[in-house]
Amino acid sequence: MTITRRNVLLGATAAAALGPIAARAQTSEVKIGVIYPFSGASAQIGVDAQRAFETAAEIINGKYDYDLPLARTEGLPGLGGAKIKLVFADHQADPQKGRAETERLITQEKVAAVIGSYQSAVAVTASQICERYQIPYLSADNSSPSLHRRGLKYYFRAAPHDEMFSQAMFDFFDAMKKKGTKIETLALFHEDTIFGTDSSNAQLKLAQERGYKIVADIKYRANSPSLSAEVQQLKAANADVLMPSSYTTDGILLVKTMAELGYKPNAIVAQDAGFSEKALYDAVGDKLEGVISRGSFSLDLAAKRPMVGKINDMFKAKSGKDFNDYSSRQFMGLIVMADAINRAKSTDGEKIRDALAATDMPGDQTIMPWKRVKFDENGQNNDADPVLLQYVGGKFVTIFPTQAAVAEASWPMK
């Protein structure tokens, strides 16, 4: 066998071409910025989010036999097995700081993408900065519908927004009415920041369209020292359904005040937030038997998809909590983003953006009850079906929509 000069050359070129890739596979990593509140009133959310993202990174970077994108391989095969590295930043719920920290993540830490942010107000500024630097921003858990309507090219949201959530609630009311349950009047109770305002606007609109009467629409100041006057008004209105949109702090106070003032509504259908937090149920769970909350996650999915239970165990080992509506969306946020980076085979912002836009992930490859992950032209995933969960005997069971339900709703609540 003769080794021609050409062969040698070819081999050399191949080695030269492969060299960097092989070298990169050993050392390289892809940085993803994660921006959450780590201090201040909602610091606990940030701390839990950190655990959720770490769990997702562990699954991506390690080898796990789950039917989840990137679980079975180590790192990102599209980038020669590069590992995901998370860079956390604290925005203290301040839009200005969120903006500055996002810019720092992009320019100093050289992150390939940014995920955030719990507070919708921060998502506004963070995603604008990302747009300017042409780096994709993915809302893991922001639910304000105004976010994806700003015409941003680099903004994505895999999870449902408040209008989709509220729609599910009203679909549920319609279904209950058909079965003969009396649901005519609603009482809205919402806090005065962006979350409560958006949520109540959506609910008001839907109630009008579908012929429900709003007998009380109470807006209160977030982190109020007392809610007794508000609860008196709710009690006087005595609607068929009470629909609170509250964060954890106000949620606890609301439930306690209701018990003190002897107000027991027929049913509570909550817009998540505080009503999916473990802290709230630790505090006042005994008074909430039968409360219904919207959500995008339910642990009873584990019966159908065993990996949900196993991943939940991983998260629980880190945080001492089960996945809830927030932590599950955060987890999926990183999976969706990593999947796109893997397909983009690059850390270039525009390529990742295009890969995100082309995402089509079947629902059963997620840990959510979603149909699929596929973004529309605004970057919103319209196939993320929300579910309604009822708190029964210390845990949540899915009661709506029917195809995901594992139990019948018990109405009125106990």
Partner 1 sequence: MGLLYGLIAVGLALIFGLMDVVNFAHGEFLMIAMYATFFLFAFFALDPLLAAPLVAAALFIFGAVVYLLIVRFAVRAKANTGMVQIFSTFGLAVLMRGVAQYFFTPDYRSIPHSYLGGKTISIAGIYLPQPQLVGALIAIAAFAGLYFFIHRTDFGRALEATREDAGAVALVGIDKNKVFALGWGLGAALVGLAGAVMAIFFYVFPDVGASFATIAYVTVALGGFGSVFGAFAGGIVVGLVEAMTTLILPPSLKTVGIYGVYLLIVFIRPRGLFGSI
Partner 2 sequence: MDKAFIQRRRRDLIVAACLALLATQVPRYVTDVYIQNMMIMTLMYAALSQSWNILSGYCGQISLGHALYFGLGAYVTAILYTKFGMLPWFGMCAGGLLSAVIAMALGYPCFRLGGHYFVIATIVIAEIALVLFQNWEWAGAALGITIPLSKQDSWLTLQFAKDKLPYFYFALALACVAWFVTWWLEDSKWGYWWRAVKDNPVAAESLGVVVFNSKMGAAAVSAFLVAVGGGFYAMYVTYIDPESVMGFQFSLLMALPAVLGGIGTLWGPMLGAVILIPLTELTRSYIGGSGRGVDLIVYGGLIIAISLARPQGLVSLFSRKRKPAAQPVREAVAS
Please say which residue, 133 or 263, places its beta carbon nearer to partner 1: 263
Identify what 262 binds: partner 2, partner 1, none; CB under 5 to 8 Å per kind. Answer: partner 1
Q: Which is nearer to partner 1, 200 or 381 (CB)?
A: 200
Candidates 7, 13, 107, 228; binder of partner 2 (CB under 8 A) is 107
In whole angstroms, what is the distance from residue 75 CA to residue 104 CA? 25
Contact between 108 and partner 2 by CB under 8 A: the answer reads yes
Strands 213-220 and 185-191: parallel
Token output for 355: 């890969």
Measure Cα distances from 33 to 97, 156, 228, 331, 376 in Å. 14, 15, 42, 14, 24
For residues 68 and 60, what is the distance between their CA atoms, to the nearest angstrom? Answer: 9
What SS3 string covers 71-89? CCCCCEHHHCCEEEEEEEE
Among 25, 31, 41, 350, binds partner 1 (CB under 8 A): 41
Report DSSP state, residue 299.
G
Peptide bond into 401 cis (omega under 30): yes
Question: Which of 167, 185, 193, 346 forms a contact with partner 2 (CB under 8 A)?
Answer: 193
CA geometry: angle 7, 8, 12, nearest 5 deg: 115
Per-position x/- string for 195-224, each x denoting binding to partner 1 as judged by CB under 8 A, each - no binding: -----------------------xxxx-xx
Nearer to partner 1, 229 or 406 (CB): 229
- Do residues 337 and 353 lie in contact, with contact meaning Cβ atoms separated by under 8 Å? no
Provide the 3-class DSSP secondary structure of residue 349.
Answer: helix
Find the part of the chain contacting partner 2 (CB under 8 A) among 8-16, 76-84, 92-100, 333-341. 92-100
Report in angstroms how near the CB of residue 265 gets to partner 1 at its nearest. Answer: 15
What whole-number distance in Å separates Cα of residue 354 and Cα of residue 39? Answer: 34
Q: How far is the CB of 163 from partner 1 (least distance, A)?
A: 22
Distance CA 402, CA 206 (A): 21
Under rule CB under 8 A, residue 100 binds partner 2 = yes
H-type helices in 246-399, by residue range? 248-260, 278-284, 306-319, 325-344, 349-357
Contact pick of 226, 236, 303, 306 for partner 1 (by CB under 8 A): 226
How many residues belong to the site for partner 2 (CB under 8 A)? Answer: 39
Please state the closest distance from residue 69 (CB atom) to partner 1, in A.
Answer: 32
Q: Using DSSP, state whether 394 is helix, strand or coil.
A: coil
Q: If DSSP codes are grouped into helix, strand and coil, which group holds residue 229?
A: helix
253 is a contact residue toward partner 1 (CB under 8 A): yes
Contacting positions for partner 1 (CB under 8 A) = 39-44, 47, 192, 218-221, 223-226, 228-230, 232-233, 248-249, 252-253, 256-257, 259-262, 277, 279-280, 282-287
User: Which chain residues interact with partner 2 by CB under 8 A?
Assistant: 38-39, 43, 46-47, 50, 88-90, 92, 94-97, 99-101, 103-104, 107-108, 121, 124-125, 128, 131-133, 144, 146, 150, 192-194, 196-198, 219, 221
